[in-house]
C-alpha cells in the first residue's frame, strides 16, 4: 500500500480502494474529498493498470480541475497521465461537440455564445431593454434546457405570464442559434446528452472510451448532467460520485438534490461511503453546523467531527444598523489581526447577496483595510469593454461568429434579427462564417439590399483594417510592413463612433462612466503595442491571453480581507469568518426580488426554499476554521425606510449549548470618529 493511502483515514481509504461497482462518497465539508478523487485516479493508474485515456474526472470549475491535475502529477509519472481527462462538464461538452459536430447538426467551427452574447439574442427577440425581464427569460430558458425540456414542452407546461413569455421566445432563440451555427453554455451539456440518448453509434463510441468516471460536487448536477453521466457510464456502471446533500445550494440554477436521492434507486448495487472527519474546523464550528443542518430532511445521515480542539465560542453580535455593522466588523477585524498577529487574508466577510458588499467596500476603504471581492466583475466582463473587443476579435479572426454579431449590431446599423437569421442560414448552407457569407451571391437572394448594404460596408471596413494591420500582406514573398497599431486603433474607434452611441442610449452619468472604461482599454492597448512593438494583428492575438490572465489575478492571493457571497465561498476556508446580515428576510432570503421568485403562495415551495437557505447557512458556518462571528441588525434601511429586523431562525437553530455567545456591539451608539478613537484605545491596550 502506498504512503498516500496509509496516511488516509479508514473511510477515505475505503473510497479509494472500492472498485466493485458504482460508488457514492458522501463527503462532508472539509473532509478531504479532492484528496480521495486524486488518489483514486492514481490508484487506478499505478496499481490497477488502467490506461489514463479511459479515465474521466469531471468537476464544475476550472480552478478545481487545475487543482486536481496538479495533485495527480505528484502521484503519477507524467508519461502515464497521457490522455487523462480532468475537466469541467462544459469543457468535456466542447470536446464532444467538436468531434461529433456533423451528427449534432453543427459545422466543426461552430461558435460558443457566452451569457452576454446570448442575452443579446434574447433582447433582439423580445425587443425590450428591460434588463430584469431579459434575465428572467434567459434564466427560465436555461432551467428548461437543463431539465431537458424542449421548446414544444415548454409551451405546454408554462403557467405564469413570465413562463409564457419565455416559452414564446425559447423556440425563436433556439432557431436563431442554429441559424448562427452557434451554441450557448447550456447546449454544451444538452446536445451531448441528447445525441447520446438518440444515436446508438455515438453512445457506444463514448461508452467504450469511458472505463472509469469520477464526479466532483455531485449534488450540484442538474437533470441533463445526470442523464449524460448515465449514458457515458452505461456500459460498465464504473464510477465514483463525490457529493454532499448538505451543501446543495444551487437549485436556482437547475441543480437538483434529487440526483443524489436517485442514485441508490438507479444503481441498486451502489456502495455508499461517508467521510465525516473534518480537517478544517474546531468543534464549536462543527457542532453549530451539525445542529443547524439536522433541521433539514437528511437523505443519508452523517455528522461532522474533528480532532482540532473545542475552539472559541461563536459570537453573535447585535448591531444597530448596517452602517454600524460594516464599521464594527471592520474594527473587530483590525483589532483581531493585531491581537492574533494574523494576516488580512486570514479574514473573510460573507453575505447572502452582492448588494450587501458595497457598504463594506466603502467602510473598509475609509478604515484603510485592504480587501478583495471574490467573484466581482472583471474589467474585461464590462459590456462596453466587450463591445470594443468584439471588433478586435473579428479583425483577428473573421470566423468568430459571436464577435461578428456583436460588432455588427453595436451600434445599430439597420441590421435586424431577420437579416442576421437569413445570413446565418446562408452561412450554414455555404459552410462558411457569417463574415464570409455577406458577399456571397446567395446572401443577395435572401437579404434585401437595404439591409445587406450596411453588412457589406462593415465587412469591407474590417477587411481593410485586417490588410493594413499586417494580416496576409505579402509582396513577392516578403512581408509588407504593417501600419502602426495606434493609428489603426484610432481609425477603428472613429468608425465605431462608440462615444456617441453611449450618449444616445445611456443616461449621461452611465455613458460617461462607460466611455472612461473604453478610453482606459484603448489607452492600455496602445501602450502595450508601443512597449512590446506589436502590430494591431499581433496585439489582438494576445487579447484572449491577456483577459485570461486578468481574470486569474485572484490566484495571486493578495494579503487582503475577502468580501464574498456565501455561494461564492463554497469550497473555500478562512481562519476567521464574519457572516453578516444573518436576519430573517436576508438569510433565509424570501421575497419576489430573490432568485427563487415568489414562493410564498405555496407553503411546500416555501419549505423547500427554507431548506436550501439552511444548507446555505451550513456552508457559511463551515467556511470558518478557528472562529466564527455572526452579525444581525435591529434596523436596516430599504428604499429610504428603516425596517425593523429580526435575527435569523438559523441562529437559534445553532443551539446555545454548542458554544454560541450573543454580545452587544461594543461600538454601539458611537459616531464613526468615536469608533476610531475607541479602536485605537483597544489596540494600544493590547500592544
pLDDT tens digit sequence for 14-51: 999 999 999 999 998 999 999 999 999 999 999 999 99
Please, what sign has the CA dihedral across residues 284, 287, 291, 293?
positive
Q: If you average pLDDT over residues 447-462, what whole number do you get?
A: 91
Grid coordinates of 472: 496576409
Catalytic-residue membership of 247: yes
- The answer to whether residue 84 scores a pLDDT higher than 80 is yes
| Beta-strand runs (E) in 543-665 | 561-565, 574-579, 624-633, 635-638, 641-644, 660-664
pLDDT tens digit sequence for 118-144: 888 888 888 887 888 888 899 999 999
Q: If you average pLDDT over residues 71-78, what whole number do you get?
A: 90
pLDDT at 584: 92
pLDDT at 451: 87
Lowest mean pLDDT among 5-14, 66-75, 471-480, 493-502: 471-480
Among 33, 332, 636, 649, the one annotated catalytic: 33
Among 100, 117, 186, 217, the one annotated catalytic: 217
Confidence of residue 624 (pLDDT cuts 50, 70, 90): very high
Q: If you average pLDDT over residues 475-480, what whole number do you get?
A: 38
Nearest to 110 by CA among 175, 195, 179: 179
pLDDT at 549: 36
Grid coordinates of 493: 474607434
pLDDT tens digit sequence for 138-176: 999 999 999 999 999 998 988 888 888 899 899 999 988
Using CA atoms, how far apart are residues 117 and 40, in angstroms rounded to an integer? 39
In percent, the amount of the chain with pLDDT more than 90 equals 42
Among 247, 410, 565, 631, the one annotated catalytic: 247
- What would the 3-class secondary structure string for 334-367 be? HHHHHHHCCCHHHEEEEECCHHHHHHHHHHHHHC
Confidence of residue 682 (pLDDT cuts 50, 70, 90): low
Among 71, 393, 623, 645, the one annotated catalytic: 623
Q: If you average pLDDT over residues 298-311, what whole number do you get?
A: 88
Catalytic-residue membership of 417: no
pLDDT at 551: 40
- Sorted by sequence, the CB contacts under 8 Å of residue 417 that are 6+ apart come out as 121, 124, 125, 176
Confidence of residue 685 (pLDDT cuts 50, 70, 90): low
Catalytic-residue membership of 33: yes
Confidence of residue 474 (pLDDT cuts 50, 70, 90): very low
pLDDT tens digit sequence for 535-565: 776 677 555 444 433 443 344 578 999 999 9
Confidence of residue 273 (pLDDT cuts 50, 70, 90): very high
Catalytic-residue membership of 451: no
pLDDT at 435: 92
pLDDT at 604: 77
Angle between helices 322-340 and 672-686 (to 10 degrees): 20
Lowest mean pLDDT among 276-290, 511-525, 669-683: 669-683
Q: If you average pLDDT over residues 51-61, what whole number do you get?
A: 92
Confidence of residue 670 (pLDDT cuts 50, 70, 90): confident
Among 216, 384, 401, 612, the one annotated catalytic: 216
Evaluate whether 219 touches 261 at the Cβ level (below 8 Å).
no
Catalytic-residue membership of 514: no
Phi (first) and psi of residue 664, to 5 degrees: -95, 145
pLDDT at 547: 45
Instruction: Kindly report the average pLDDT of the chain as a whole number.
Output: 85
Grid coordinates of 116: 452576454
Using CA atoms, how far apart are residues 575 and 570, in angstroms rounded to an integer? 15
Catalytic-residue membership of 276: no
Confidence of residue 98 (pLDDT cuts 50, 70, 90): confident
Q: Is 157 helix (H, G, I), strand (E, B) or coil?
A: helix
Q: If you average pLDDT over residues 174-184, what whole number do you get?
A: 85
Amino acid at each position: 500500500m502506498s504512503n498516500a493511502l496509509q496516511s488516509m483515514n479508514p473511510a477515505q481509504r475505503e473510497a479509494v480502494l472500492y472498485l466493485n461497482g458504482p460508488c457514492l462518497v458522501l463527503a462532508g465539508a472539509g473532509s478531504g474529498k479532492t484528496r480521495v478523487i486524486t488518489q483514486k485516479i492514481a490508484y487506478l493508474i499505478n496499481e490497477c493498470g488502467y490506461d489514463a485515456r479511459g479515465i474521466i474526472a469531471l468537476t464544475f470549475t476550472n480552478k478545481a480541475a487545475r487543482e486536481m491535475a496538479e495533485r495527480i502529477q505528484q502521484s503519477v509519472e507524467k508519461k502515464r497521465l497521457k490522455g487523462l481527462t480532468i475537466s469541467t462538464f462544459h469543457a468535456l461538452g466542447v470536446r464532444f461537440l467538436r468531434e461529433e459536430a456533423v451528427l449534432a447538426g453543427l459545422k466543426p467551427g461552430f461558435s460558443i455564445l457566452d451569457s452576454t452574447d446570448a442575452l443579446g439574442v434574447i433582447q433582439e427577440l423580445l425587443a425590450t431593454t428591460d434588463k430584469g425581464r431579459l434575465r428572467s427569460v434567459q434564466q427560465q430558458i436555461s432551467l428548461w434546457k437543463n431539465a431537458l425540456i424542449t421548446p414544444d414542452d415548454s409551451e405546454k407546461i408554462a403557467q405564469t405570464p413570465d413562463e409564457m413569455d419565455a416559452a414564446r421566445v425559447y423556440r425563436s432563440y433556439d432557431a436563431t442559434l442554429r441559424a448562427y451555427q452557434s451554441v450557448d453554455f447550456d447546449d454544451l451539456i444538452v446536445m451531448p446528452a441528447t445525441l447520446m440518448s438518440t444515436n446508438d453509434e455515438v453512445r457506444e463510441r463514448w461508452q467504450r472510451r469511458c472505463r472509469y468516471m469520477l464526479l466532483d460536487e455531485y449534488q450540484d448536477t442538474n437533470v441533463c448532467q445526470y442523464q449524460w453521466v448515465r449514458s457515458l457510464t452505461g456500459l460498465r456502471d464504473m464510477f465514483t460520485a463525490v457529493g454532499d446533500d448538505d451543501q446543495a445550494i444551487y437549485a436556482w440554477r437547475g441543480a437538483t438534490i434529487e440526483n443524489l436521492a436517485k442514485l441508490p434507486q438507479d444503481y441498486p448495487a451502489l456502495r455508499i461511503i461517508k467521510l465525516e472527519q473534518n480537517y478544517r474546523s474546531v468543534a464549536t464550528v462543527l457542532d453549530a453546523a451539525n445542529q443547524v443542518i439536522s433541521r433539514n430532511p437528511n437523505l443519508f445521515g452523517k455528522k461532522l467531527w474533528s480532532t482540532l480542539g473545542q475552539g472559541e465560542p461563536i459570537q453573535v453580535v447585535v448591531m444597530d444598523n448596517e452602517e454600524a455593522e460594516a464599521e464594527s466588523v471592520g474594527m473587530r477585524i483590525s483589532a483581531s489581526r493585531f491581537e492574533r498577529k494574523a494576516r488580512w487574508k486570514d479574514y473573510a466577510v460573507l453575505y447572502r447577496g452582492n448588494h450587501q458588499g458595497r457598504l463594506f467596500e466603502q467602510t473598509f476603504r475609509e478604515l484603510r483595510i485592504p480587501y478583495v471581492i471574490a467573484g466581482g466583475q472583471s474589467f474585461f466582463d464590462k459590456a462596453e469593454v466587450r463591445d470594443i473587443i468584439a471588433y478586435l476579435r473579428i479583425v483577428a479572426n473573421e470566423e468568430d461568429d459571436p464577435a461578428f454579431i456583436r460588432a455588427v449590431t453595436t451600434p445599430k446599423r439597420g441590421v435586424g434579427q431577420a437579416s442576421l437569421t437569413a445570413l446565418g442560414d446562408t452561412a450554414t448552407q455555404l459552410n462558411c462564417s457569417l463574415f464570409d457569407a455577406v458577399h456571397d451571391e446567395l446572401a443577395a437572394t435572401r437579404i434585401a439590399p437595404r439591409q445587406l448594404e450596411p453588412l457589406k460596408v462593415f465587412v469591407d471596413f474590417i477587411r481593410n483594417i485586417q490588410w493594413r494591420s499586417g494580416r496576409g500582406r505579402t509582396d513577392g514573398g516578403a512581408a509588407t510592413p504593417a501600419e502602426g497599431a495606434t493609428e489603426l486603433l484610432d481609425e477603428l474607434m472613429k468608425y465605431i463612433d462608440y462615444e456617441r452611441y453611449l450618449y444616445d442610449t445611456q443616461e449621461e452619468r452611465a455613458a460617461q462612466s462607460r466611455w472612461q472604461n473604453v478610453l482606459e482599454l484603448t489607452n492600455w492597448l496602445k501602450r502595450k503595442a508601443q512597449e512590446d512593438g506589436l502590430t494591431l494583428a499581433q496585439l489582438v492575438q494576445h487579447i484572449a491571453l491577456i483577459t485570461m490572465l486578468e481574470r486569474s489575478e485572484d490566484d495571486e492571493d493578495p494579503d487582503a480581507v475577502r468580501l464574498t457571497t456565501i455561494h461564492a465561498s463554497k469550497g473555500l476556508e478562512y481562519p476567521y469568518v464574519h457572516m453578516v446580515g444573518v436576519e430573517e428576510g436576508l438569510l433565509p432570503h424570501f421575497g419576489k426580488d430573490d432568485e427563487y421568485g415568489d414562493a410564498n403562495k405555496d407553503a411546500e415551495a416555501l419549505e423547500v426554499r427554507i431548506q436550501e437557505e439552511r444548507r446555505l447557512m451550513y456552508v457559511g458556518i463551515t467556511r470558518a476554521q478557528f472562529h466564527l462571528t455572526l452579525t444581525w441588525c435591529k434596523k436596516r434601511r430599504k428604499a429610504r425606510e428603516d425596517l425593523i429586523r429580526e435575527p435569523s431562525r438559523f441562529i437559534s437553530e445553532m443551539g446555545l449549548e454548542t458554544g454560541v455567545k450573543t454580545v452587544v456591539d461594543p461600538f454601539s451608539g458611537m459616531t464613526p470618529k468615536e469608533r476610531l478613537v475607541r479602536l485605537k484605545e483597544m489596540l494600544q491596550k493590547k500592544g
